[in-house]
């Protein structure tokens, strides 16, 4: 796990398990706090056991930014404490500044998808099948609305087990913790105990490449602008399992809002690749498959083909 995180350019941090209650309150997930207070604290700054690793990491990022460090990416693996769940193991990330420095294109700022990629890679290494779902603002008020997601186990054995969350820290919270208000700090936190529970058996098998040609078709649809691409992908995958032409790959290549697209709608273009292992596909097979996928998108999401 540490190798995955350090290879992404993050540095390991170790923060205090005792924090102040005000900081703990800012990073509460859901409505129930479950905070554990310390009966005889040495100081008001250390009067609560941390329920999340994020307060300490965010403060460490803010400290580095105040001392002139432009690019700060930290992670921590440690214990969290709650009166509801008891002691759990967690992993958290806090990242701001540049994600990469390339000799040709220069620096690129860290964004939501950098942190999402780290979480996806961790789940892959730990043999966990996970999906990302929209996160209601009330579920984590410390994250910016519309720039947050919940991580949920998608394996058959784990059901819909919550694994964690990720997103951009709300600017007001970053300001309260001492970071420059203009900084975009992206964070993630995973429950390692839940990840371990959600692991699936790894099957190391090799499938021969098909000797038959593949067929590529593009499909453009208009859907609500709040509909995540992950949900669209899931609908296509589910519909593609029952089509005469096996669906080999799904790729999003365009997203458009503007002239010709109604308000609160977005045009999404998807590239579908079909390939069979035992035969050459016919035009009729491919067209029937596309028709079934489009029918599923219309039924599930009210999609309109462009």
Q: Could you tell me the CA-to-CA distances from 198 to 34, 76, 161, 191 in Å, in that order?
A: 24, 21, 8, 11
Shared-domain flag, residues 106 and 35: yes
CA pseudo-torsion sign 52, 58, 60, 63: negative
Number of domains in the chain: 2
**Could you tell me where the DSSP H helices lie in 44-201?**
54-66, 112-125, 171-176, 192-197
Distance CA 175, CA 182 (A): 9
What are the pLDDT tens digits along the chain (306 aa)?
A: 899 999 999 999 999 999 999 999 999 887 666 899 998 888 888 899 999 999 999 999 999 999 989 899 999 999 999 988 899 999 999 999 988 766 677 778 999 999 999 999 999 999 998 889 888 888 899 999 888 999 998 865 556 789 999 999 999 999 999 998 889 999 999 999 999 999 887 777 777 889 999 999 999 999 998 888 888 998 999 999 888 999 999 999 999 999 999 999 999 999 999 999 999 999 999 999 999 999 999 999 999 998
For residue 225, the Cα-to-chain-centroid distance in whole angstroms is 18
Shared-domain flag, residues 220 and 247: yes
Final residue before a domain boundary, out of 138, 170, 197: 197
Shared-domain flag, residues 118 and 234: no
Output the domain CATH number for residue 52: 3.30.930.10
Domain hosting 255: range is 215-305
Shared-domain flag, residues 185 and 273: no
- Burial of residue 183 (CB within 10 Å: 0-12, 13-18, 19+) is middle
Shared-domain flag, residues 188 and 228: no
Shared-domain flag, residues 186 and 45: yes
Distance CA 128, CA 151 (A): 11
The neighbouring-strand residues paired with 251 are 271
Shared-domain flag, residues 126 and 169: yes
Distance CA 46, CA 21 (A): 8
Distance CA 140, CA 137 (A): 6
Shared-domain flag, residues 127 and 188: yes
Distance CA 273, CA 251 (A): 9
Shared-domain flag, residues 132 and 95: yes
For residue 104, the Cα-to-chain-centroid distance in whole angstroms is 29
Shared-domain flag, residues 8 and 84: yes
Shared-domain flag, residues 185 and 221: no
Output the domain CATH number for residue 271: 3.30.70.380
Q: Could you tell me the CA-to-CA distances from 214 to 110, 152, 280 in Å, in that order?
A: 36, 33, 8
For residue 5, the Cα-to-chain-centroid distance in whole angstroms is 15
């Amino acid at each position: 796990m540490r190798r995955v995180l350090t290879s992404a350019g993050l540095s390991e941090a170790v923060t205090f398990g005792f924090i102040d209650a005000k900081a703990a309150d800012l990073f509460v997930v859901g409505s129930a706090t479950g905070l554990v207070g310390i009966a005889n604290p040495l100081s008001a700054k250390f009067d609560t056991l941390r329920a999340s690793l994020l307060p300490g990491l965010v403060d460490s990022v803010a400290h580095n930014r105040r001392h002139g460090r432009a690019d700060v990416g930290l992670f921590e693996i440690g214990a969290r404490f709650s009166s509801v769940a008891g002691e759990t193991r967690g992993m958290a990330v806090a990242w701001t500044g540049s994600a990469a420095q390339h000799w040709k294109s220069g620096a690129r700022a860290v964004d939501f998808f950098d942190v999402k990629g780290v979480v996806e890679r961790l789940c892959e290494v730990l043999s966990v099948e996970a999906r990302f779902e929209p996160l209601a603002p009330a579920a984590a008020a410390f994250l910016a609305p519309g720039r947050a997601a919940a991580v949920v186990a998608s394996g058959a054995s784990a059901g819909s087990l919550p694994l964690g969350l990720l997103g951009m820290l709300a600017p007001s919270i970053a300001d309260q913790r001492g970071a420059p208000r203009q900084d975009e700090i992206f964070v993630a936190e995973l429950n390692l105990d839940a990840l371990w529970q959600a692991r699936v058996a790894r099957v190391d098998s090799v499938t021969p490449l098909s000797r038959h040609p593949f067929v590529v078709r593009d499909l453009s649809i208009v859907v609500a602008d709040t509909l995540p691409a992950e949900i669209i992908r899931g609908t296509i995958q589910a519909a593609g399992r029952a089509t005469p032409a096996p669906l080999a790959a799904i790729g999003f290549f365009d997203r458009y809002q503007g002239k010709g697209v109604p308000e609160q709608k977005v045009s999404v273009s998807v590239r579908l690749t079909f390939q069979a292992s035992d035969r050459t596909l016919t035009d009729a097979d491919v067209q029937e498959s596309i028709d079934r996928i489009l029918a599923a998108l219309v039924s599930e999401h009210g999609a309109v083909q462009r």
